[in-house]
Structure 1
Amino acid sequence: MTPAPFYTLTAGDLTVTAVSDGQMSAPLSLLSGITPEEAERLQRNAGLASPEAIAIGAYLIRGRGHTVLVDTGTGGVNGVGGALIATLALLGVRPEEIDTILLTHAHPDHIGGLLTATGAPAYPNATVFLPSRETRLLAGGIHTGQRQRSRPAQRAARPPRTGNLRGANSRS
C-alpha cells in the first residue's frame, strides 16, 4: 500500500494539510531543549538517513471560505527548499488562491517564500500576518549575528507596496 502523500486533519469545517517546502541541512546543535546526540538518536529511530536533514514545513488550512497558509518556507533563498508552490500545486492550490498567510515567526525558513525569485509577491492576494514582536525584530532589533544571514528573508517579509503586512496585534 502506498502511503498518502499528504497528512491531513479535518476539524469541523476546516481541513489542515501539512505541506513541504523541501529540506535543509543544519547542525543538530541548533536545536534547543535536546542534546544533539538525543536528536540524532530520535531521527535515526524515525528512519531518517541523514540526521541533519531538517524538513521545512508549512500548513494549508481550507474552509469557511478561506485558504490560509501557515508559514511560507524558504522560497529557495540561498538554494535551500523552494518546493512549496509546487507542493501546493499537487493539492490543486494556486498561489493566487491563498488569501491569508500566518507567519509563526520571522526566521528565514518561515518567511523566505513570501517573494518569488524575481521579487514579486509569491501569494499576491494574501494578507500577511506576523506577530508584533517579530515585526519589531525585522524593523531593526534582530540579533547582529543573524542579521546578515536573514537579509533575503527580511526583504521578503517587508510589506508589499499594497501595505498588507500586519502585526498580529494590529487593528489595521
Structure 2
Amino acid sequence: MSIISSFSYLSCCYLYLLGVSALFHLCISNQNHDGVLCMDGERRALLELKHGLVDETDRLASWVGDKSDCCRWEGIACNNSTGHVHHIHLPALNGNCRKDYRNDKEYREAIKQRLRGSLSSSLLHLKQLRHLDLSCNDFGKIQVPEFIASLGNLRVRLVTGKFS
C-alpha cells in the first residue's frame, strides 16, 4: 500500500467518523430541544403534587402524560444540562395577593384562580429544587408541611398564602 493510498484511506475513515458523530449529535439535540428532558421520577413527583391540588381554572393543564417533558409545563423550570426541576412558580393572581375586591363577582373569580388542596411529600423527590413559589394560593390555613424543611437545596421559600 502506498503512502498516498494509506493517507486517502485514513482521510475517508476520519470523514466517515466525523459524519457519524455529527449525525449522532444532531439526533440527540433534536430529541432534547435545547437541553435534557426532565427526569422520570421528578415528572411523577410533579404529577403526584398536581393530584393533591384543586385547580379550578386549569392552570396545570399542561401537566399531563408519563412521557411529556415536565420542563415545558406551566410554572416549571429545569436545569438545561441536567434536566432536574429547580423552580416551581405557581403564584395565584399573578402574585398580587389582593384582599380588597370591588364586588362579590370579582372576589369569586379571584378565589377560583387560587390553588387549593394539599402539598404532596412527593416534592421530596425534587432533589435540586431551589425555588418554590405558591404565594397567594389558599391551602385552608394548614400548617406548612414539615417536609418542606427537608428540601436541602431550596434557597427561596415562598410558600405564603393562607397557611397558618
Fold match (TM-score > 0.5) = no
User: More strand per residue: 1 or 2?
Assistant: 1
Query: Structure 1-normalised TM-score?
Result: 0.28
Structure (1 or 2) with the larger CA radius of gyration:
2
User: More helix per residue: 1 or 2?
Assistant: 2
Query: Structure 2-normalised TM-score?
Result: 0.29
